[in-house]
């Protein structure tokens, strides 16, 4: 730990090292007891059998070298366009790296080379517009990559090369308008894909094709107008599908055909006036119990005979229906304003 202790602020002249360390620890204890708004002048360091956990928030000084047994590092709330180039040097055991809420504009391509055991990388709330090629060359162990709330307008497949073990990819809250084809083709272990709160108007039909076993797909808060019949076919074991807050006006008849275990479907706040017959046949009861439920509220439903299929389906799983009071008919005139459930019951 000798290189680490060199980074601590100088103690007042003449005080012996163990006394100044005691004062330092007392300051930390005091800080964490009062602690809600007080930010320590130094990074917090916790040692355990597993290794060192270091947590730095502004105005602490970012360490220029890390203990060799560092397993967890958080550097957050700094106003930094770039990180010190060799921040991670020597921390070869690092497992988790939390870099949220800085102002990072770019990352150096070699940045992650010193940390081949990294499992989690959180870059939420920075200013990244892209990633350098080769960034993840040594990141075969990375399970979780979060790029939420950055400024990505495009996504290049090459940026993600090397992420063999990726299980969780969060690209939400960016400015993505289009996705490249074959984005997920090489992700064998991806379980969660979050593309929510972007500007996606269309999706490549082969988006979900690949060896992955997706469980969660977030597409809420985009500008999708159509849900095609091929999108979900490659992912029969999908459990959670969020499509709320788009501009969906049309869902293809076979869109949910292949799904076998869907537990949650959110289609709320779209522009659905009608849906094709047979759309719901394979979902929920009597095939399986949707463990969490579904939401089709906030749509301009036209409650005519074209919805008879939907009415039957609703009655079979109404105990799983969210927002029942907000799921209402926009027409025809005779039933305008009534809940879909009421109309379904009266059929």
120 counts as binding another protein under rule CB under 8 A: yes
Which of 14, 16, 36, 305 binds another protein (CB under 8 A)? It is: 36
CB of 333 to another protein, least distance (A): 30
CB of 295 to another protein, least distance (A): 7
- Kindly indicate which of the ranges 109-117, 144-152, 251-259, 269-277 contains the residues binding another protein, using the contact rule CB under 8 A: 144-152
Whether a cis peptide bond, with omega within 30° of 0, leads into 132 is no
CB of 103 to another protein, least distance (A): 14
| Residue 69 structure tokens | 């047994």
Residue tagged 């984005």 (tokens) = 183
Which residues have CB under 8 Å from 125's CB, separation 6+?
100, 101, 102, 148, 149, 150
Q: CA-to-CA distance for 78 and 60, rounded, in angstroms?
A: 9
Which of 63, 70, 115, 125 binds another protein (CB under 8 A)? It is: 125
Beta carbons within 10 angstroms of residue 133's beta carbon: 12
Q: CA-to-CA distance for 42 and 57, rounded, in angstroms?
A: 8
Closer Cβ to another protein, 65 or 102, answer by number:
102
- 147, with CB counted inside 10 A (0-12, 13-18, 19+), is buried
70 counts as binding another protein under rule CB under 8 A: no
Which residues have CB under 8 Å from 135's CB, separation 6+?
107, 109, 111, 112, 159, 162
93 counts as binding another protein under rule CB under 8 A: no
**Parallel, antiparallel, or unpaired: how do β-strands 240-242 and 226-227 relate?**
unpaired
150 counts as binding another protein under rule CB under 8 A: no
CB of 221 to another protein, least distance (A): 11
DSSP 70-121: EEEEEEES---SS--TTTTTT-TT--EEE-TTS------TTTTTT-TT--EE
Closer Cβ to another protein, 255 or 266, answer by number:
266
197 counts as binding another protein under rule CB under 8 A: no
Beta carbons within 10 angstroms of residue 25's beta carbon: 11
Q: CA-to-CA distance for 310 and 302, rounded, in angstroms?
A: 12
Whether a cis peptide bond, with omega within 30° of 0, leads into 59 is yes
Closer Cβ to another protein, 112 or 335, answer by number:
112
Which of 122, 174, 219, 283 binds another protein (CB under 8 A)? It is: 122
Which of 70, 88, 152, 266 binds another protein (CB under 8 A)? It is: 266
Which of 7, 57, 213, 317 binds another protein (CB under 8 A)? It is: 57
- Kindly indicate which of the ranges 14-22, 119-127, 133-141, 223-231 contains the residues binding another protein, using the contact rule CB under 8 A: 119-127
Which of 4, 78, 136, 242 binds another protein (CB under 8 A)? It is: 242
76 counts as binding another protein under rule CB under 8 A: yes
Which of 83, 118, 146, 262 binds another protein (CB under 8 A)? It is: 146
| Residue 297 structure tokens | 């509220």
Sheet of 96-98: strand order equals 44-48, 51-57, 70-76, 96-98, 120-122, 144-146, 168-170, 192-194, 216-218, 240-242, 264-266, 293-295
- Kindly indicate which of the ranges 107-115, 212-220, 269-277, 300-308 contains the residues binding another protein, using the contact rule CB under 8 A: 212-220
Residues in contact with another protein, counted by CB under 8 A, come to a total of 42
- Given a contact cutoff of 8 angstroms between Cβ atoms, the answer to whether 159 and 131 are in contact is yes
- Interface residues with another protein (CB under 8 A) are 32-33, 35-37, 40, 44, 46, 48, 53, 55, 57, 72, 74, 76-77, 96, 98, 100-101, 120, 122, 124-125, 144, 146, 148-149, 168, 170, 192, 216, 218, 220, 240, 242, 264, 266, 292, 295, 322-323
């Amino acid at each position: 730990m000798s290189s680490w202790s060199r980074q601590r602020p100088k103690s007042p002249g003449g005080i012996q090292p163990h006394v100044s360390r005691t004062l330092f620890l007392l300051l930390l204890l005091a800080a964490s007891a009062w602690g809600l708004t007080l930010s320590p002048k130094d990074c917090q360091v916790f040692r355990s059998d597993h290794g060192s956990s270091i947590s730095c928030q502004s105005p602490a000084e970012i360490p220029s070298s890390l203990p060799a047994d560092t397993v967890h590092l958080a550097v957050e709330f700094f106003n930094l366009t770039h990180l010190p180039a060799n921040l991670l040097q020597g921390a070869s055991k690092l497992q988790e790296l939390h870099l949220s809420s800085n102002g990072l504009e770019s990352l150096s391509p070699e940045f992650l080379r010193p940390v081949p055991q990294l499992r989690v990388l959180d870059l939420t709330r920075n200013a990244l517009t892209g990633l350098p090629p080769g960034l993840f060359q040594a990141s075969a162990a990375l399970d979780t990559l979060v790029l939420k709330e950055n400024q990505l307008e495009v996504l290049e497949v090459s940026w993600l090369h090397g992420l063999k073990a990726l299980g969780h990819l969060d690209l939400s809250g960016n400015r993505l308008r289009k996705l490249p084809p074959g984005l997920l083709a090489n992700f064998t272990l991806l379980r969660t894909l979050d593309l929510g709160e972007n500007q996606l108007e269309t999706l490549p039909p082969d988006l979900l094709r690949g060896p992955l076993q997706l469980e969660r797909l977030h597409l809420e808060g985009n500008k999708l107008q159509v849900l095609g019949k091929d999108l979900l076919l490659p992912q029969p074991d999908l459990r959670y599908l969020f499509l709320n807050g788009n501009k969906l006006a049309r869902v293809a008849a076979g869109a949910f055909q292949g799904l076998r275990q869907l537990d949650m479907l959110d289609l709320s706040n779209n522009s659905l006036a009608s849906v094709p017959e047979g759309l719901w046949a394979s979902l929920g009861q009597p095939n399986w119990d949707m463990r969490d439920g579904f939401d089709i509220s906030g749509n301009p439903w036209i409650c005519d005979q074209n919805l008879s299929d939907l009415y039957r389906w609703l009655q079979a799983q109404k105990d799983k229906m969210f927002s029942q009071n907000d799921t209402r008919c926009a027409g025809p005139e005779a039933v305008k304003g009534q809940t879909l459930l009421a109309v379904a019951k009266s059929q």
